[in-house]
Structure formats: C-alpha cells, structure tokens
Amino acid sequence: MAEKNASKVSARAPSKPTAACTILTTPQRKGRTTMEMQVLWHTAMRKAVVLGTAGAMALGGMVAMAGTAEAATTLGAAATQQGRYFGTAVANNRLSETDYVNTLNTEFNSVTPENEMKWDALEPSRGSFNFANADKIVNHAKARNMQVRGHTLVWHSQLPGWVGSLSADELRKAMTTHITEVMTHWKGQIAAWDVVNEAYQDGSSGARRSSPFQDKLGAGYIEEAFKIARSVDPAAKLCYNDYNTDGVNAKSTAVYNMVKDFKSRGVPIDCVGFQGHFNSNSPVTADFQQNLERFAALGVDIQLTELDIEGSGSEQAANYEKVVKGCLAVSRCTGITVWGVTDKYSWRSSGTPLLFDGSYQKKPAYTAVLNVLNGGTTTPPTTPPTTPPTTPPTTPPTTPPPGGSGSCTATFKTDSSWSGGYNGTVTVKAGSSAITRWTVPLTMASGTSITSLWNATHTTSGSTVTVKNSNWNGSLAAGASTTFSFTVNGGNTAPTVGTCSTS
C-alpha cells in the first residue's frame, strides 16, 4: 500500500466550446462535457498549428489567436490551453472552509474525491450504499464545470471487513454489485474511473499483491472488473492506477505487461494512472517521461493522478517542473491531479508536498508548474526532449533550414501488434555526411491508417503518409540516427517505407 511511499476554467474559456463546436466533427462533439470540448478545442488548435494543415489555414484567426494568447493565470486555464486538465484531490469535510473552496474553484478544473468514493465510504455494509459525501463533491464540481475522476472501485485498502470474509462466489457477486451500483449512480458524470487500484507488489518481483480479490478470484479479477465497468458506463474512461510505477522498474513493467496483454485481447482499458507520490526515497527519476511514453505507445491515455512531491523551495519547484514537462511531452498524457489543495491537509502534511502552503499561499512549485503549463521554462533543458514538444512554436519558421547535402536511410520495425493494429518505429539514419532535415514517405497497407505518430510531424494523402522531422531531431551527425513511432489501426500489414530524403 501507499502509506510508506508514497472550475473553474479560464475567464476566457466559456466562448471556446462554441468555437470547438465549429471545428470539431460530430463524433468528436458527441457526448462531450463542456470542459472536454474546451480541451478538444485546444488540442485541435495544437495539432493544426503543429501540422500546418489545410485545416489550420481554415482556422486563420484562431491560429493567430493561439500564437498570441496571453499566459493563463490559473493552473486549470493554463492546462486547458495545453489540451489537458489540472485537478486536485478534494475532501468533502473541507468544502466549508472559505480559503480551501476559493483556491479549489479558482485554480482547478478537475476533482478527485480523496476518500469519499472508496468502498468503505460508499458501501460500509453489504448492499447499503451511502453516496451523500461523494455527491457533495460531484455536485460542487458539476456546478463549476469541473470534471470528476472516480477513485476507486476495486482496491485492497479502505475495504470494509465484510468484503474480506466472503467466499469466492459471494465476493465475485459483491464486486459486480459494487461496481454496478456505484457507476450507475454517477453514470455519465465521471470522466475517468480508477477501476482497479494498486494491484501490484512493490519491489522486484513484479507480482500481484495479495488481497481478497487476488487471493479468492484469481488474477483475472482485474479484467473482470474492467469488463463490468465498461458495460455499466461506456462513456467513462477506465484506468488502472498505481504508485511507484512512475519510472521504468519491475513494478511498472509488470503493469505495462498487463496493459499490453489487455490491449492485445481487447479487454477494455483506456488509461493508466501514475500516482506520482515522490519524496527522497522515491525521487523523480530520469526515465519518468520515457516510462510514460512506453505506456502511451500501447494505445492508452496517461494521467498523473495523485501528484505530490515532498520538499520546498527551488528544489521542489524543479521536481514539479520535471514531472509536468514529462506529461506535456507525451501527447497522450491528458491531465494532472495533485493530491490535495494545500499542505495543511495533505496526507503527507509534514513533507509539504503540494502547490499551496498551509496558508494557501502559492509556493515556488506553483509558479514553476504554471510557467511550464504556459509554455515557458524556469530552467533550460539540458538534453533535447525524446518526444516532440506538444506546444506549438509561438512564431512558426517562415523558411525551412537547408537539408544539407547528405543522404539518409529509413528502416521500419514492428514494436507490438494486436488484432487489428500495431505500433511501429522507423529509424532514420544519416549517411556519411551530416543532415539538417529529413523526409520519409510511408505507403500504408490497404485498410490501415495511422492514428497517432510521435517524434515527427506527418501529413496524409490517401494511403501516402509523408513524415518529416520535428524541429529538434532534424539535425543528425554523420552516421547518427533518430526514430519516430506510430500506432496503426485496421490491420497488421507493415507500411512500405519509401526513400529517405534530406532536401
């Protein structure tokens, strides 16, 4: 368990869903909340600017607006401009405190009930549900156009005693009833559910944690839970959530393998939650972003679900900056939730791990996060990012740099595949001279199409996809190489890779 480790939307935002309605397709609009529309609007803007497509041309004034947008002044508004949400855990019994509520309402546009949706709170005795406290949080959020993360349906902790004493058959029935009743109660109101929480052990075993569910129902309980959840509220994103999985390690690899298996067998899973409880024993590791990237490549969204980083001052700020940048660098990282509004009520209060101090004053960490969300940096990057920046450049280059006189080669490999799709990577290698930009044409196999591509930009015309370097990986020394990757739907036949060119 984690003990040992562990809106208000922009004042400008209300007009944007309307704009989104005009540029998003009907399927994109269908069933979206206003906030999701805002996020989609900004995502569409980002894509349009980055790709420079005809769609971007059509957006005309909007693109200009994005390029000159003023820096947002709240976390929620700044995240929305990045196509993300910025949330916090909320405790119902703090909603009567003015400073708490003002900070919540001003800064955040997503909430997660900290304890009120856990099994012991919702179903303390079998079949007897108490939704009142969680309802207060959900209603508070809905009234302010904030989204809600549901936390959590199946977890070994905060589990009432009666659950653990059931036989396997009765436990299966109880789990089914619990998921069904809870999700039905808030059907259509929860953006994402942590369907299963913390199912893996710490350490190097990569094994499942012992729990009534694991021990009595067997390893399949997780996919059972996800399948039930999907059938109850098909609109909710279904997440697996865990801690100490933030870097590449045995535990995160075990979760990765589970998600990969689920995706390959069609078990419904949409997202992976990385709790992000950091301190000196569990520091932010250098491979944080890389770890998010490998999960995203499986075709799931990433959410930072319980972020808190112990410390203070510039050191804490730098760690927050690293984590938020890591999320922004991964296009499928859709949002960040910090685990509380203020240090005063943090579960790790003595470690002062949050963005507002005990008097609700903004900490250096707050400023660092806001700056990063606004596209700025407080410390220059020392190494080039391994994925393209997700923010558009403020002024797009007018003339492309010369490609250099060198040549390049491109080779494809399949990273993983499943029924109806695959992930692939192309390695671009400079010849005996340095190059400054490259282009690789791909011809997609009949019926297949790229659903997302990272580490490069691409345009599609029929079955031909033209892939060009990002602004940070065009320059390659003689013999050096870089890669771009993509997800394909519609079949498993690899694309034909055309001739790499440098002009």
Cα–Cα–Cα angle for 76, 268, 153, nearest 5°? Answer: 65
Among residues 6 and 444, whose Cβ is nearest to ligand G3I? 6
Min. distance of Cβ 369 from ligand G3I in angstroms? Answer: 20
Among residues 33 and 337, whose Cβ is nearest to ligand G3I? 337
SS3 readout for 211-274: CHHHHHHCCCHHHHHHHHHHHHCCCCEEEEEECCCCCCCHHHHHHHHHHHHHHHHCCCCCEEEE
> Does 114 contact ligand G3I by CB under 6 A?
yes
Min. distance of Cβ 230 from ligand G3I in angstroms? Answer: 22
DSSP summary character for residue 410: E
Among residues 158 and 205, whose Cβ is nearest to ligand G3I? 158
Among residues 4 and 30, whose Cβ is nearest to ligand G3I? 4
Interface region with ligand G3I, contact rule CB under 6 A, candidates 2-10, 99-107, 291-299, 493-501: 2-10
DSSP H or E segment with residue 149: strand 147-155
- Residues 231-260 binding ligand G3I (CB under 6 A) are 243
Among residues 319 and 439, whose Cβ is nearest to ligand G3I? 319
- Residues 314-343 binding ligand G3I (CB under 6 A) are none
> Does 201 contact ligand G3I by CB under 6 A?
no
SS3 428: strand
Among residues 152 and 487, whose Cβ is nearest to ligand G3I? 152
Q: Contacting ligand G3I (CB under 6 A), which of 53, 106, 157, 436?
A: 157
Strand-strand pairing, 271-274 and 237-242: parallel
Alpha carbon distance 69, 65 (integer Å) = 6
Q: Contacting ligand G3I (CB under 6 A), which of 347, 356, 438, 454?
A: 347
Q: How far, CA to CA in Å, does 264 sit from each of 299, 332, 418, 419, 494?
A: 10, 19, 5, 6, 17
Among residues 56 and 271, whose Cβ is nearest to ligand G3I? 271
Alpha helices in 83-211 (DSSP H): 98-107, 119-122, 132-143, 161-164, 168-185
Beta bridge partners of 90: 113
- Residues 5-64 binding ligand G3I (CB under 6 A) are 6
**CA count, 13 A, side-chain hemisphere, 249:** 19
DSSP summary character for residue 13: G
Min. distance of Cβ 155 from ligand G3I in angstroms? Answer: 7
| Region of residue 179 (phi > 0: left; psi between -120 and 50: alpha; otherwise: beta) | alpha
Min. distance of Cβ 201 from ligand G3I in angstroms? Answer: 15
SS3 440: strand
> Does 349 contact ligand G3I by CB under 6 A?
no
Min. distance of Cβ 245 from ligand G3I in angstroms? Answer: 11
Min. distance of Cβ 152 from ligand G3I in angstroms? Answer: 7
Strand-strand pairing, 333-338 and 496-497: unpaired
Alpha carbon distance 263, 268 (integer Å) = 7
Among residues 158 and 257, whose Cβ is nearest to ligand G3I? 158
> Does 108 contact ligand G3I by CB under 6 A?
no
Question: Catalytic residue among 114, 116, 123, 198, which?
Answer: 198
Q: What is the residue whose two structure tokens read 């003023």? A: 70
- Is 198 annotated as catalytic? yes
Question: Catalytic residue among 114, 116, 223, 306, which?
Answer: 306
Q: Contacting ligand G3I (CB under 6 A), which of 53, 106, 115, 133?
A: 115
> Does 2 contact ligand G3I by CB under 6 A?
yes
Min. distance of Cβ 292 from ligand G3I in angstroms? Answer: 18
Whether the link from the prior residue into 382 is cis, omega within 30° of 0, is no
Among residues 346 and 473, whose Cβ is nearest to ligand G3I? 346
Alpha carbon distance 499, 463 (integer Å) = 16
Min. distance of Cβ 114 from ligand G3I in angstroms? Answer: 5
Nearest residue to the partner ligand G3I, using Cβ: 2
272-291 footprint of ligand G3I as x/- string (CB under 6 A) = ---x----------------
Q: What is the residue whose two structure tokens read 């760690």? A: 319
DSSP summary character for residue 173: H
Min. distance of Cβ 73 from ligand G3I in angstroms? Answer: 28
Interface region with ligand G3I, contact rule CB under 6 A, candidates 1-9, 54-62, 132-140, 379-387: 1-9
Burial zone of 169 (CB within 10 Å; 0-12 exposed, 13-18 middle, 19+ buried): exposed
> Does 306 contact ligand G3I by CB under 6 A?
yes
Residue ranges binding ligand G3I (CB under 6 A): 2-3, 6, 114-115, 157-158, 243, 275, 306, 347
Active-site residue list: 198, 306
